[in-house]
Structure 1
């Protein structure tokens, strides 16, 4: 299995895997500013992962909070000149990154072989390690789907010709515990390199702590909105049931989608979705994966959209 390129894959039936994320997190990843994608489940692939932006237009306060957060974590490593995207387009395929591994948040936080700023990015259960960002010169209009899904062949064939490499403010290469094994960066592989007594975190300044708090608030906003949507939808379904004797098929399907969403935001681990091209488009949106917190562990930004436009 090779580390780079789009040919190598992890487990599952992925050919050209894609992940839908909310803005501004999606563009920050494709621009190489964001290097860790946080999830409550392990990365099901290695190699190229296409990034699609969900339909939710980001609020100015959300963009500011995330840009402030990344200014602070890059400043930890002495980087002060960050070129943020001029625009955060929605409902578009933006580009891709290379997923080279996945480790637990505790491991990343104590991994002294990577820059301190990178160690600050991941506080979800699992941290997908991303390198080699590439963006599309012309982003493609596209619908997103739940979980990791395969791009349609015709979209992939057009998109792969329009990629250009992106150099982030501070590109990182994640060292493999076993250089001969491209799957050696997996949960538990980093903690094996140091004892609990040797593990160390990053000391946070007052301004960094404030930026992290702002980013957390930005990352959890979608969770609150979608929980309200779930409540309202259930009420509407009950109303349909009372008036007609049973809920209509659309209400039942929407309830199922929203309840699945709600369960995915509990402290329980999410199951990895089936790896086929037969995912159904879903209209409701999910927040940043960083709203999926572990008990006793606050999360910082890295939004994803499990359900999309």
Structure 2
């Protein structure tokens, strides 16, 4: 597999880009339940992004925490019937989503044009906006890499024929600031006109607050590598708060070809509150 350059922070040469996620986040995204992919770096692509599940088997407590989180945030919009995946397979290519934009967490929290539940979903520095999920009828076994990387041609050609569309519990269409510009949804693009300190106006119930805390704890837990994973990767890793794996290890101008078995999960980076407290948090770069 060929890396697209830039380790997820540049405008790399991507043809069939793929991202490796821990379970249960990977399946939740492909099933259309998860609509925001949280990262500490901006999205380097627009369009189709293939989703691969890492090798680490999720614990039951982690699955429960994330399913409870999504039950609560969907309930804010009156959605109570959510069909979660029956299984969370690992080391598999699961499907794809369309990345239509990327905004800062504080922008998403203040964006009244999208449902309240979507605004609550953003818990990291940068929020990749995902639509049109599709899943593979038969997930492909494969290994993952760090950051955004290109699928091998033979894998892509086989996978693209096995995709089926997925109808999530509440599909969302993110409005573009400039309908004529498909790249107009980027950090800073929707913040004009927001009143100072304006944020999500929902009054959080106790159960919602508990679910958010549980989701953050589950994501943080997946930020700690176990000894088996380290042995598989044979690669030193740093998990400093607010940085993705490759930000800790690989300078943005160096390509990294070492295959890995897992990658940072959504919501493992700094929380939105952390970002807002940081003066001059960076919003530069193509997203």
Give the TM-score taking structure 1 as reference length. 0.78
**Who is 2:242 aligned against?**
267
- Map 1:29-178 → 2, pairs under 5 A: 29-178=29-178
- 1:125-160 superposed Cα distances (whole Å, 9 cap, x missing partner): 100000000000000011111110000000000000
Q: Which aligned segments of 4 or more residues in structure 1 are displaced greater than 6 angstroms?
A: none
Q: Which has the higher contact order (CA 8 A, sep 6+)?
A: 2
**3-state DSSP of counterpart to 1:216:** helix
Aligned length: 261
- 1:232-277 superposed Cα distances (whole Å, 9 cap, x missing partner): x8xxxxxxxxxxxxxxxx9xx94xx324x33xx333573896697x
RMSD: 2.6
> Quick check: 2:136–2:159 contact (8 Å CA) kept in 1?
yes
- Map 1:121-270 → 2, pairs under 5 A: 121-196=121-196, 198-224=198-224, 226=225, 229=227, 254=234, 257-259=235-237, 261-262=238-239, 265-267=240-242, 270=247
Shift of the 274–144 alpha-carbon distance from structure 1 to 2, 3 Å rule, reads farther
> Quick check: 2:109–2:200 contact (8 Å CA) kept in 1?
yes
> Quick check: 1:14–1:275 contact (8 Å CA) kept in 2?
no
Specify every segment of 5 or more residues in structure 2 that has no aligned partner in the other structure, as ranges: 1-9, 276-287
> Quick check: 2:26–2:52 contact (8 Å CA) kept in 1?
yes
Give the TM-score taking structure 2 as reference length. 0.84
CA distance in 2, matches of 1:122, 1:272: 27
**3-state DSSP of counterpart to 2:106:** helix
More helix by share: 1
Specify every segment of 5 or more residues in structure 1 that has no aligned partner in the other structure, as ranges: 1-9, 234-249, 299-309
> Quick check: 1:30–1:134 contact (8 Å CA) kept in 2?
yes
**Who is 1:297 aligned against?**
274
Q: CA deviation at 1:217?
A: 1.2
